[in-house]
Amino acid sequence: MKLLKNKKMYIINALTCVLIFLLILAIKRTSPFGNYMLGTSDAPVQFKPMLYSLISNIKTGTLLNYTFNNGLGNATIFNFLYYIASPLNLIALMFKSPDMMYLSATLIKIIIATLSMTFYTKKKTDNNFVVFIAAISYVFCTWFLAYYYYLPWLDIFLMFPLFQYGLEKLLNEHKYHIYIFSLAYMMITNLYLCFSVCIYTIIFFIVYELFYKKEPFKSKLLTFDYIALATIGSFLLTFFYLYGWFDSLIKIKVGFNQSFTNTYSVSILDFFKSFYYSNLSFIASMEGKTFPNIACPTIILISFIYYFISNKNKRDKLFVLVVILICTAFIFIPQLDFIMNAFHVIRGLTYRYSFIISFLMICLFISITKDKNSINKKSLLLITLILLIGIIILRKAMSSDIFITNITFILCYLVLIIFYDNNKVYKILSLTVFILQVAFISSLYIPNTFEKEALDDINYNSKNSTYRINNSSVSVDSYLESINNYSNNKTTYVYSSMTYSNVIYLFKNLGNVTFENTYSVMHDNNKIPSLLLNVKSKENDYYLEKLYAVNKEIINTSLDDGNVKYNIESIIYNMTGIKDLYDKEVLKGVKKDKKYEFKTDKDYYLIEIKNDNGGINIFQQEYDVFVQDIKYGDGTATIYTVKDDKLKDIYEVLSKNQIKYSYYEDNHMIGDINVDKDQIIFTSIPYDKDWVVKVDNKEVKPILVLDSLMGIEVKPGKHKIELEYKTHYLWPALISIITFIVLVIDCIRKRIKRYV
């Protein structure tokens, strides 16, 4: 009972957060309480399918290090390290439904975020009233409301209060274990957001240690040594992860570019609006203004302002002000924002690190309220009145629900301050107002997506077929249809920033819909690429196995960016010698609204038309109507459709010498193949150095074909071909294991020493 009593605030806070979150889901008729799917944006198309696939593969014992379920194929380590490496995700093993898997992982992270913030606050004060408000405010700050469905980001969010405690212990007492383990956890679960935390750590250390803390220079130097060594310790502890992560980046050829760093900004007005929950949109306009997600409940905002006019030590105020101003500067300066986001294009997901500013605001609330006798009622009233005036001034720039909500709760706090007391009734009233604000704001902004059918009956077992299914019914514009990804089918649908960038480039140049390194979709009627890339489709009677022999000229084939017709003709001619693949038709346009409108009875074709620069583009088209601006056209357009007899000829030539499997798994395949002459075995498998290729039991080095795929040089005759995907992470894992053992022994040694 004594133990339970000591931990009651942890239990109360965790239950409160879970109940608020579940209540909001119920109000919004979100799964499991209604027909709306939990999560939006990347949740249904990346995080949910990946989590579902991981859990189902663990349950069935089919966890492989390579899969053809994404694009033309991916090392599973890519997406695991980038998206779902959190050990907390394993709670999903308790469930069958994809939505329940995702909800369970979300809830456990909400609970631990609550416990982490409760722990941090209790180290600062024994006032349970303050502990409750601080923990709930952190968990339901604007950052969480905007990004709760970004499952990997929640691990950074939940660990940050514990990390901050470890950082303070390291700087003040040179105790480093909490710092090392919490930083290591953040690295493993999401390296991008962890990078933001590391930048914050540098800022905090410089301001605190060099300019705030009063001690000799030698002591400061010693502290620097401690934090440097502790950080290295975290790197060594996670070396297996860092090695795999950077190895993956090299393989997929992710580059750093600054194309988005100056296309959005936040104005001073919008910045102040953001404190009133004025915008929780997770997608920023790529051109124009956006909002940081840093708001907390009104009681936190009042305390934040009050801190700087209170009688707190001026040195303390200056330290806090400098840290917050530096962190805020990253929001206003795009180049700094780009750095804070790990030199990463954020595609509208702005200010992912803004939870740090929210945390600092809550820390000031803790600092003010832990000494209730020093609170000046007049100052609080003045601040609340200023906030009230501010919301009235910003009225036109806010939606009516946000305006009314803020007016209501600011007035509530105004009344509470006027009748300030420290009795139980007052505390209950204050907490009621606080919880109502948190719940109401959450109900407005915790997003869900489309209505759905129940997904509970999905079979975990997926037949390990040797072909790919063309899953192009999954539209890049429709999240509703993306639930098909739950079925774990073989697919040529790509939706992941952790895929081979050269494969995306290949997809694009073969006429498929693509968006940079994020997604690509194989079209059902794009018949020649489907044939070449092992795709089985209802619209196409022909498909080849993943390995088949082609002419050696394929090695010299280069792709012309955007010229689909040229690329396909070049590939087929160099593979087979077959040419003249397309029927040609010239269409006459009709003038309509300063445009030429063209109509055809074809449902898929290549279109040759002038672009805005006066040049000629040839690209895929899947609609029976298209238009062109009059000033760029002459009223004609040429379309090309594949000749059925040519498609049959291509298949007959290439299918003669394709592999016959004797063993097949996604990461290991063995089979025989006949070769008529000196040829190349063409594979529709992305080039990756970890594929071990053997011809007649002898290891050979594969070659790069079409800048993206593997090829194998062979002589005439019958050959046994073996491909096996092997990762080489043993020695990095050993470094991490040894580091972990050393740290555990060090913890035990220090604990024994403390009690001796």
Residues 587-606 pLDDT 10s: 888 888 888 888 888 877 88
Q: Which domain holds residue 718?
A: 658-725
Same domain as 230, residue 114: yes
How far apart (Å, rounded) are the C-alpha atoms in residues 414 and 408?
A: 10
- Give the least confident one: 102-116, 245-259, 485-499: 485-499
Kind plus residue range of the DSSP H or E element containing 265: strand 264-265
- Strands 535-536 and 468-469 come out as parallel
Residue 430 falls inside a structural domain: yes
In single-letter form, the type of residue at position 270 comes to D
User: Which range is most confident: 337-341, 485-489, 556-560?
Assistant: 556-560
Contact 599, 625 (CB under 8 A): yes
Same domain as 670, residue 754: no
The residue with greater pLDDT, 393 or 538, is 393
Model-level pTM? 0.88
Same domain as 663, residue 630: no
Return the number of other C-beta atoms located less than 10 Å from residue 73's C-beta.
26
In single-letter form, the type of residue at position 53 comes to S
Same domain as 714, residue 732: no
Between CA 347 and CA 352, with CA 351 as vertex, the angle to 5 degrees is 85
How far apart (Å, rounded) are the C-alpha atoms in residues 472 and 529?
A: 13
pLDDT of residue 29: 86
Backbone angles phi, psi at 699, to 5 degrees: -70, 135
Same domain as 610, residue 743: no
pLDDT for 756 beyond 70 = no
Nearest to 193 by CA among 92, 82, 285, 290: 82
Same domain as 733, residue 718: no
pLDDT of residue 495: 59
Same domain as 756, residue 715: no
Residues in the chain: 756
Residue 534 falls inside a structural domain: no
**Average pLDDT of span 641-646:** 90
pLDDT of residue 629: 78
Same domain as 740, residue 709: no
Contact 460, 52 (CB under 8 A): no
pLDDT for 446 beyond 50 = yes
Residue 638 falls inside a structural domain: yes
Return the number of other C-beta atoms located less than 10 Å from residue 285's C-beta.
12
**Average pLDDT of span 312-330:** 89
The residue with greater pLDDT, 186 or 747, is 186
Which residue is it, tokens 């077929």? Answer: 465
Please, which pLDDT band fits residue 462 given cuts at 50, 70 and 90?
very low
pLDDT of residue 613: 62
Residue 314 falls inside a structural domain: yes
How far apart (Å, rounded) are the C-alpha atoms in residues 456 and 52?
A: 12
In single-letter form, the type of residue at position 553 comes to E
Burial of 2 by CB count in 10 Å (0-12 exposed, 13-18 middle, 19+ buried)? Answer: exposed
Contact 212, 220 (CB under 8 A): no
How far apart (Å, rounded) are the C-alpha atoms in residues 755 and 101?
A: 43
Percentage, residues of the chain above pLDDT 70: 87
Residue 573 falls inside a structural domain: no
Please, which pLDDT band fits residue 172 given cuts at 50, 70 and 90?
very high
Q: Which of 413, 445, 477 is the last residue of a domain?
A: 445
What are the structure tokens assigned to 467, written together? 């072909």
Residue 481 falls inside a structural domain: no
693 forms beta bridges with: 700, 723
Same domain as 695, residue 599: no
How far apart (Å, rounded) are the C-alpha atoms in residues 702 and 712?
A: 5
Q: Which of 418, 445, 472 is the last residue of a domain?
A: 445
How far apart (Å, rounded) are the C-alpha atoms in residues 37 and 185?
A: 29
**Average pLDDT of span 380-400:** 87
Contact 522, 533 (CB under 8 A): yes
pLDDT for 62 beyond 80 = no
pLDDT for 176 beyond 80 = yes
Contact 270, 285 (CB under 8 A): no
**Average pLDDT of span 281-290:** 60
Backbone angles phi, psi at 464, to 5 degrees: -85, 65
In single-letter form, the type of residue at position 454 comes to A
Q: Answer whether the bond into residue 32 is a cis peptide, omega within 30°.
A: yes
What are the structure tokens assigned to 474, written together? 């999954």
What are the structure tokens assigned to 499, written together? 């895929």
How many structural domains are present in the chain?
4
How far apart (Å, rounded) are the C-alpha atoms in residues 24 and 139?
A: 14
Residue 651 falls inside a structural domain: no
pLDDT of residue 524: 73
**Average pLDDT of span 294-306:** 91
Same domain as 736, residue 624: no
Which residue is it, tokens 């009651």? Answer: 8
**Average pLDDT of span 5-11:** 83
Q: Model confidence over 95-145: pLDDT tens digits?
A: 988 888 999 999 999 999 999 999 999 999 989 999 999 999 999 999 998
Where helices occur in 394-423 by DSSP H, the ranges are 400-418
Same domain as 692, residue 621: no
Please, which pLDDT band fits residue 454 given cuts at 50, 70 and 90?
very low
Backbone angles phi, psi at 707, to 5 degrees: 60, 15
Same domain as 592, residue 740: no
On the CB side of 346, how many CA atoms lie within 13 Å of its CA? 28
**Average pLDDT of span 431-445:** 89
Residue 252 falls inside a structural domain: yes
